[in-house]
Amino acid sequence: MIVTEDIFDNFKDSEGQIIPIKRYTWRNCNGITVQVIAYGSTITSIQIPDKNGVFGDIVMGFDDMAGYRNSLNPYFGATVGRVANRVGYARFFIGDQQYQISANYNNTHQLHGGFKGFDKVVWESFKNGDEVVMSYDSKDLEEGYPGNVLVNVTYCLTDDNEFIIDFKATTTKPTFINLTNHSYFNLAGHDKGAVELYKHVININADKTTDVDQDSIPTGKLLNVAGTIFDLQIPKILGDVIHKIPGYSGYDHNFCINKGVKQEEGFIARVCHPPSGRTLEIYSNQPGVQFYTSNFLPDQSKPGDVITGKGSANYYKHGALCLETQNYPDAANHNNFPKSIYNPGDTYHHRIVYKFYITT
């Protein structure tokens, strides 16, 4: 295993200081490479072979800091927190104490940690053998959240073609924590678009989803997937189901992972692109996974904003999918959802394993 460090790019902060952004590159014995930068603790590239041995980059991203700092960046590859996903009405309670947090979603709710979440800060980082550790100290009342929260994210690529992400966090006050990685995958290649994404076969180990309102805020109800378009326990071709979601232009839903996988890493999902043979399996200790099919990327058929990514590729709606392992959205506001409030002395722990292989 080879792990190298260099500078991805520089940017000028609000005080005029030039900030160099470290980049780490893993290369295993099979030639697979993964790159992560310290800005947003962000995965910028994953290069894996197809069934003919041709390598391709399977995650969306940018070539420079201008892209990652652009307001159009939809969290490509980033570590998302302090609380991933939605928080209804940008508030939650701990005991009798209400906390009002920043409302960056429809001017009413919060999404992915607020206006300046963990995806928009520079993390401290260092190599530790084959691993890289990135750390961020989130201050008390940052985006409205109580407590100083120290987060460490450890990354490692193995010679078994597994890329492992391990999140740990501690707090000085009771607080709400729910982290995730927000990589956008297209196993045909980051630039291959919806035509190839629709050929992907998706399987999610979940028998329920969280019911949501018109703003995608959970109601607290859990819905059985059996007999519905959300039943992905049996693999489905994405193009056969993506346009059948009632009221949506694709999937953007939390799936409740089947019982028995909540302590150690259990099977979450499998995605395969049959033409290339590239296959991704995801394992995690989290109770949920947000399955999102890039519905809010620019619509190629309509004029408007364009997101130009790596290699001058333009990214459009349904050009990639996300499988964001995490707690259920808005968990602090629903007593029947898994634990989301952490106290001093607790350790938040979230582990993800991305396993890559070829299906022939």
How far apart are alpha carbons 242 and 250 in whole angstroms? 5
From 142, 143, 196, 324, the catalytic residue: 324
Q: What are phi and psi of 119, to 5 degrees?
A: -75, -15
Name the phi and psi angles at 345, rounded to 5. Answer: 100, -20
Q: Using CA atoms, how far apart are residues 182 and 44, in angstroms rounded to an integer?
A: 11
In 3D, which of 301, 251, 292, 305 has the Cα closest to residue 72? 305
CA distance 297 to 302: 11
**Distance, CA of 299 to chain centre:** 22
Ordered strands of the 124-128 beta sheet: 124-128, 131-138, 149-157, 162-171, 348-358, 278-284, 266-273, 201-204, 236-237
The 55-57 sheet, strands edge to edge: 2-12, 18-27, 33-37, 42-49, 55-57
Q: For residue 65, give the H/E element and its range.
A: helix 65-68
- Cα dihedral: 166, 170, 174, 176 (round 10): -20
Catalytic position from the list 182, 190, 200, 253: 182
Does 349 participate in catalysis according to the annotation? no
Residue 350: CB atoms within 10 Å: 23
DSSP string, 211-238: EE-TTS-EEEEEEE-TTSTT--SS-EEH
User: Would you say 104 and 113 are in contact if contact means Cβ atoms under 8 Å apart?
Assistant: no
Is 324 in the active site? yes
- Rounded CA separation 288/326 (Å): 5
Residues 6+ apart with CB under 8 A from 219: 210, 211, 212, 213
Given the DSSP bridges, would you call strands 162-171 and 206-212 parallel, antiparallel or unpaired?
unpaired
State the catalytic residues: 182, 324
